Amino acid sequence: MTGETTPPLYLRGRFAPVPEEHGAADLTVRGALPPELDGRYLRNGPNPLPGRDEGHWFTGPGMLHGIRLRDGRAEWYRNRWVRTRQLEGHPFIREDATVDLAATSANTHVIRHADTVLALCEAGLPYWVTPALETVGPYDFEGRLTTAMTAHPKEDPETGELHLFGAGFAPPYLTYHRVTAAGLLLDSRVVDVPGPTMMHDFAITEHHIVWLDLPVVLDPALAGRGGMPYRWDEAYGARLGTMPRTPGSTEVTWYDVDPCYVFHVGNAYEDPRGRIVLDAVRYDEAGFQKAWGDIGGPTGPDALGGVREPGRTDAPAVLHRWTLDPATGTVTEARLDDRAAEFPTHDERRTGRSHRYLYTVSGGGIAKHDLARRSSQVYETPGSRWAGEAVFVPAADGTGEDEGWLLSLVSDEEGAAGELLVLDAARLSVQAVVELPYPVPAGFHGSWLPER
């Protein structure tokens, strides 16, 4: 028909938002769910209200999807919008030009810390939700959190502390926070960076915080147009920083790196020589511009044509390793794999410590990367199915780093109902598939919350 336009990529196919909240019980399971999977798998993602286009995949209101597993059964599935002030129509920027940190989308991640479940989005405060996915309200750690909170906090597996940061549109551009295992925010420090970049993730090691100060910057000229007002600016520079975890320290040692961007970190650790090793998914400029344009972001003239540098693969992003040597002040860089990669995950018992395996979304499937052997394998989802981020759940009696399961919410390009995929992490083979009664749009990040 004349006058019709094709919806943007982030509103069609496997990304198409669902118009309603649903619930269902006693779900069909193909295969055998491990009986020790007793808990909830929760995943977050953007889901614009019916008829709305927020201008970018990252900016739609958050929707949580949850599946309850127990005794080898899938007891229920439900989806719920995170009822933030943004969803209720409150503007993020008030008339007096101040920012309402509670008028955010809370659409990016969902975690549990100190028995509190939080829906996260880096532009504002987290939102407290119940295990049944009902919204309680904005959460500011008893008034101690006065900045935004990253969607990618890191919990130290030894201390139980939660490390996080807030990125600001105005000074201070970066603030670090530390939360005790009991949930008390007791350490906040301003970290000096030159401007407002889109710092989406960071890393911890046993003794350091690792910062990523990279050339995707806030551009005020793009504000007010809808979507995300960030663009690539190579003049900003690209560097990685290490800051001691010593309480009160704000001293950062910076290492210049080749221009790139990182949405997501795999893990980081200190090697026996005292060097800091960081594994992450790296975009060069062409890869970033292509990916950013596909999801609604402003791009440069080279991006829409899919320009690629001579000799590079078609993968917009691949696993990459930086090794930072404080003894010499130098950094080395190396590509770890040629597979297209995003949403890297690992055994979170290894957070900040050396790791052998990373798991990524690669194409429509899930890849397992063996970093000791520098090899990888992939589980390909069938037909029009597309796997999401794979969350690793360790087996209770497992001793190996890959002894356990990978949980991934699967979306369908043709609008069919979604699935919860359970893979044996060691073999990358299907253990079980939970059939969901409704479509599930592609989303961002999730967590396995074991029953206490």
Tens-digit pLDDT profile for residues 81-92: 999 999 998 988
Q: What is the pLDDT of residue 312?
A: 34
CATH number of the domain that residue 25 is part of: 2.130.10.10
Numbered residues of the known binding site: 152, 200, 264, 445
Residue range of the domain that includes 380? 9-295+315-450
Q: What is the pLDDT of residue 310?
A: 32
Q: What is the pLDDT of residue 224?
A: 67
With respect to residue 304, please indicate whether it lies within any of the assigned structural domains: no
The list of the chain residues with pLDDT below 70 reads: 1-4, 224-226, 300-314
Q: Model confidence over 236-279: pLDDT tens digits?
A: 999 999 999 999 899 999 999 999 999 999 999 999 999 999 99
With respect to residue 37, please indicate whether it lies within any of the assigned structural domains: yes
Q: Report how far apart, in Å, the C-alpha atoms of 125 and of each of 118, 151, 224 are.
A: 10, 10, 21
Q: What is the pLDDT of residue 188?
A: 97
With respect to residue 305, please indicate whether it lies within any of the assigned structural domains: no
What is the tally of structural domains in the chain?
1
With respect to residue 310, please indicate whether it lies within any of the assigned structural domains: no
Numbered residues of the known binding site for Fe cation: 152, 200, 264, 445
Q: What is the pLDDT of residue 254?
A: 98
With respect to residue 4, please indicate whether it lies within any of the assigned structural domains: no
Q: What is the pLDDT of residue 92?
A: 87
Q: What is the pLDDT of residue 222?
A: 87
With respect to residue 333, please indicate whether it lies within any of the assigned structural domains: yes
With respect to residue 301, please indicate whether it lies within any of the assigned structural domains: no
With respect to residue 410, please indicate whether it lies within any of the assigned structural domains: yes
Q: What is the pLDDT of residue 104?
A: 93
